[in-house]
Amino acid sequence: GAGVSQSPSNKVTEKGKDVELRCDPISGHTALYWYRQRLGQGLEFLIYFQGNSAPDKSGLPSDRFSAERTGESVSTLTIQRTQQEDSAVYLCASSFISSGYEQYFGPGTRLTVT
């Protein structure tokens, strides 16, 4: 079946511009996660959605970062006024339920801020 998809796969933007990243989770997965991974580093949790509950935004690094999810489907991660330190791979994952269930990752969006 279809896995997690993300778009775009690569994004190059100028410092100060806004970017929007998209994630389509596996159908039926109620939980959705966004992570950031800088080159050579581990996964950095950003935000988590579970069904219709309020999202856990505790990992968002600044108020320039925001995310939305429509029901149990598509999610978008928005970064406003991008900075060079935002350059990273942004990974989305989904799981059937939250804690205790394995997560499946999309291929990521590689963001480069020039």
Partner 1 sequence: RKEVEQDPGPFNVPEGATVAFNCTYSNSASQSFFWYRQDCRKEPKLLMSVYSSGNEDGRFTAQLNRASQYISLLIRDSKLSDSATYLCAVNGPYQLIWGAGTKLIIKP
Residues that bind partner 1 (CB under 8 A): 31, 33, 41-43, 45, 48, 50, 56, 89, 91, 98-108
Q: In terms of C-beta density within 10 A (0-12 exposed, 13-18 middle, 19 or more buried), how is residue 98 classed? A: middle
C-beta of 49: minimal distance to partner 1 in Å? 11
**Closer by beta carbon to partner 1, 10 or else 62:** 10
Is there a contact between 105 and 44 (Cβ–Cβ < 8 Å)?
A: no
**Closer by beta carbon to partner 1, 45 or else 62:** 45
C-beta of 16: minimal distance to partner 1 in Å? 27
**Closer by beta carbon to partner 1, 28 or else 100:** 100
Is there a contact between 88 and 35 (Cβ–Cβ < 8 Å)?
A: no
C-beta of 74: minimal distance to partner 1 in Å? 18
C-beta of 85: minimal distance to partner 1 in Å? 19
Q: How far apart are CA 85 and CA 26, in angstroms?
A: 30
**Closer by beta carbon to partner 1, 33 or else 65:** 33
Please tell me what DSSP assigns to residue 37.
E
